[in-house]
A and B are shown apart, each in its own frame.
Chain A
């Protein structure tokens, strides 16, 4: 409890920093262990039979920590080089604020293959115009309109909510007919009905999308549509300061249209690990569907709990520093 509590205090008092860090790799702590992780499930892992709930579904319930650090995309042969003395992703710079936690569970080591397993070149298959658009978005991160939506405390969307960031943890609950996922970061949640009902009307737009699930063997397959358009699909880790979109491997700036369709596959590969695959379709933005795969969920210690992650409440100063725009004095109609 103490170590978890320390983390909570850290998040609370360092909120401004953690928000700046949105999408960064987890801070370095002692206790790394060798965990072999690849995009593809081995035959042995695929044959693991998970425990069952009282009503016979595969039992994914529990608390989970994020997976290993891993790049989203394969490096390009871009000629961009980071200027001498610039910030190599704020992760290292900020990690000194985080006390190494001796009770922290061991972290998996960084995985050196990209999360994108299809197309095989490990790159997100943007249409040419969308490459330009992404470059502009990343070049204008100092403007509120283009700033990373997660830094603005908008919902993560999917699959971004499952990418490895050090301050997000997860809880999965199940009741007959539903899987429910809770995300510590920005208190997001989603209900996944398993009864085959259709998606909501296409007019309805949701930050985390509209999820419909079913079991294929022991794998939970979730079909997600009806996304709001103000989010990015992926983006984690820290882009190096000043890097153009063409040089990124972190997946930042990957926007989408109202046609976004995500198909997720959650497979328990051992009692402590859930392997995650997501196929992303958006024919308005990409030349083909593309798929990412990685071990997204590692079972947390028994005393883990999700703390409140109030995001927007402490975010005004950060946004103001990053964009020069004051959102603190803005008001909305009271929704009474």
Chain B
């Protein structure tokens, strides 16, 4: 870290201009010349994973650059000197330390009497996230999708890559949703069913058509309760400018993120940000942390669409009833 600080100071001296803006960094040119083709502009990811927010050690980056990693080829010193790699690290770090790029909400829609953005209504996601969070081609019964994860990479630890592949292979029998278990968070949001948001001054209650699932989100400033584990976690919310931020912990390790076997441990920590962008749209951004399974936090995002049908109400998808019917017709045999 000391070395990087010194380098940063040198950068500032050499450049003779404030280096706070990423584009001013010495490393920017090297990054654009060698790294950007795969890792995308400003490290935001493309065919290769996002590098921002940046959390790697300089020596680790040097090793990966010289030796290659997974799909990434080794890069020689002629192409990118050690010093240039270090400059790239400084550059990426500067991008990471920028204030998050959540824009000031341009939309300032209806507010409740308490001055909170009004999220009341029936909402639904339109995407293929429920099948697979990542980009995928069509399979039998599954439409193709571009994915909803930033950089299209879920940063699994090596063992977890294998585990996810096993889950995927056995998904027709092992997906917890096929056993009618509560789907967890955020999967419940992008199940292909409507859900209703009910807002009071100190709660936001989300009721879902799938399996009459309920989340009671306390926005009264109360902390998470003593440790315990829940299928849907324990949700505490707060209002920040134009957004509802929901912090959810205390999960069990029994749910999946999608029908493709993407998974987590009971250390899962989910932060959801609900930002209305029009009377009919909410920008839904979710950051996932789980130090037992992932190498870094990762983010997915998708719009929530308001359902506008007159007199629409949530109906029933009582999954347990379907289990019982399945047992009645097949004698409890596994499909």
A residues in contact (CB < 8 Å) with B: 1-2, 5, 8-9, 12, 54, 144-145, 152-155, 171, 173, 175, 178, 180, 182, 186-189, 191, 193, 197, 200, 204-208, 228, 230, 305-308, 310-313, 325-336
Contacts and interface: CB of A to CB of B under 8 A. Distances in A.
Interface string B192-223: 11001011100101010010111010100000
Given A144-B324, A144-B327, A335-B191, A312 B181 contact: yes
A334 B200 contact: no
A334 B139 CA distance: 14
Interface residues of B, number: 59
B9 interface: no
Interface in B54-74: none
Candidate in B207, B232, B321 with the most chain A CB atoms within 10 angstroms: B321
Given A182-B205, A325-B327, A335-B177, A5 B228 contact: yes
B175 A180 contact: no
B180 interface: yes
Nearest to B192: A336
B216 A305 contact: yes
Interface in B231-267: 231-232, 254, 259
Contacts of A8: 228
A85 B328 CA distance: 35
Interface string B301-334: 0000000000101111111111110111010111
B225 A5 contact: yes
A228 B246 CA distance: 34
B113 interface: yes
B148 to A, nearest CB: 14
A62 to B, nearest CB: 11
Contact of A175 (B198, B232, B326): B198
Contacts of A180: 198, 205
27 contacts: A1-B226, A152-B324, A155-B212, A175-B198, A175-B199, A189-B207, A200-B315, A228-B321, A305-B216, A305-B225, A306-B216, A311-B320, A312-B323, A313-B254, A325-B332, A326-B327, A329-B333, A330-B179, A330-B327, A330-B330, A330-B332, A331-B172, A331-B335, A332-B179, A333-B178, A334-B177, A336-B192
